[in-house]
Amino acid sequence: MLETITIGMALGDKYNIAVVFDKKGAETEVARLKNTKAGITEFFNGCRGATVAIEAGTHSPWISRLLEEMGCRVFVGNPRKLRFIWESKDKSDERDARMLGMVCRVEPRLLSPLHHRGQQAQADLSTIKSRDILVRTRANLINHARGIVKSTGERLPACSTESFARRCEEIVPSELRPALQPIFEAIKQLNILIREFDVKIEELCRDRYPETERLRQVPGVGPITSLAYVLSIEDPSRFAKSRQVGPFVGLTPKRDQSGDTDKQLRISKAGNEYLRQLLVGSAHYIIGPFGPDSNLRRHGLGIAARGGRNAKKRAVVAVARKLAVLLHQLWISNQAYEPFYNMKQVRAA
């Protein structure tokens, strides 16, 4: 009987609003429950086996896992696809929950449901994200120090971020040392923490995710990019074809076609923004001055050679998209990376 119940739930920071529908679609209950494991468990103990629709957000990963453990069928709606909810002129948590439940009853695919990664994968990905925020903080502190010194008519020498504190601390103008000394100390401490995270990430790749070794065969793909790729996708069988990974990370163009009109648009930038940034960074290396010769590099350089104002940007995005597809293919096929795979096929033919 409970399997016929559909529940739309609007998630809040402290409280959630749940609207319950019976088999015929009649609204039977509107409940306000605490956004805690105890509060959700207490309410859904009487609704085990129900179909639940929620919207992706801060709390949706752990709530969806909790409800699935309780035997519920959970659909996590993609907020980008639910304009009829967040563009409403009469928006409220109760209305949002009601709309989620109604749409889920009619056709769950209209929610464009998302797939949340597992708890362990989310915890391991947090290691990479924590390192990233430390790197960004270090860059901001270095820029701050350079800007302060430049405003006095002096300049700090160009150097790597790791050696900045060692090389520049002693040549800062004396009148600025009281203000910048704590900045240099913070940069030194950040260097230590970032190196510790690098060791942890290498250990994760080696001990828990050995499949990253296959991805790191491609020049420009290091431990961070390979691990983020594996953790973001988690299950490579989610994609029937490797080409589907390009749209998944938002590296394919949006489309607006009607009749004879088919506009040329920018990439969608959907999906995981951090993974997309890492793939673009790897693409920059592949077509940069230090990238080894390969099909990927030649593909990017060919696009860049066509000229135009944004030729280099288009080349980088195209290489990043091909790289996303290639990494998935290496992952599922367990094959060695062949830089000139297509050319090898042509010669054989």
Q: How far is residue 234's CA from residue 96's CA, in Å, rounded to a whole number?
A: 30
pLDDT at position 2 over 80: no
pLDDT score recorded for residue 1 = 44
pLDDT score recorded for residue 35 = 95
| Residue scoring higher pLDDT (344 or 148) | 148
What distance lies between CA 110 and its chain's CA centroid? Answer: 22
pLDDT score recorded for residue 111 = 93
Q: How far is residue 175's CA from residue 154's CA, in Å, rounded to a whole number?
A: 12
Q: In what helix (H) or strand (E) does residue 149 lie, and over which residues does it extend?
A: helix 119-150
pLDDT at position 344 over 60: no
Helix (H, G, I), strand (E, B) or coil at 255: coil
Structure letter (DSSP) for residue 345: H
Closest-CA residue to 18 (of 79, 96, 88, 80): 96
Q: In what helix (H) or strand (E) does residue 32 lie, and over which residues does it extend?
A: strand 27-34
User: Which residue carries 């790197």 as its tokens?
Assistant: 135
Closest-CA residue to 327 (of 226, 254, 253, 237): 226
Closest-CA residue to 101 (of 139, 152, 47): 47
Beta strands in 156-292 (DSSP E): 257-258, 261-262
Angle between helices 311-333 and 223-233 (to 10 degrees): 70
Rounded average pLDDT over 52-64: 95
The pLDDT tens digits for 189-216 are 999 999 999 999 999 999 999 999 999 9
Closest-CA residue to 117 (of 242, 268, 282, 229): 229
The pLDDT tens digits for 119-140 are 999 999 999 999 999 999 999 9
> Which tokens belong to 39?
């509060």
- Under 8 Å between Cβ of 96 and 20: no
Give the number of other Cβ atoms within 10 Å of residue 272's Cβ: 18
Rounded average pLDDT over 83-112: 90
Q: In what helix (H) or strand (E) does residue 106 lie, and over which residues does it extend?
A: helix 93-106
Largest CA distance in the chain: 78
The pLDDT tens digits for 246-305 are 999 999 988 888 887 878 788 888 888 999 999 999 999 999 999 999 999 999 999 999
- Under 8 Å between Cβ of 265 and 255: yes
**Secondary structure tally for the chain: helices H, strands E:** 14, 7
The C-alpha angle 215, 220, 205, rounded to 5 degrees, equals 40
Strand pairing category for 73-77 and 51-55: parallel
Q: How far is residue 244's CA from residue 229's CA, in Å, rounded to a whole number?
A: 14
What distance lies between CA 224 and its chain's CA centroid? Answer: 13
> Which tokens belong to 242?
């490797």
Helix (H, G, I), strand (E, B) or coil at 11: coil
The pLDDT tens digits for 305-343 are 987 778 999 999 999 999 999 999 999 998 899 998 766
Rounded average pLDDT over 202-231: 96
- Under 8 Å between Cβ of 190 and 179: no
Q: How far is residue 96's CA from residue 24's CA, in Å, rounded to a whole number?
A: 20
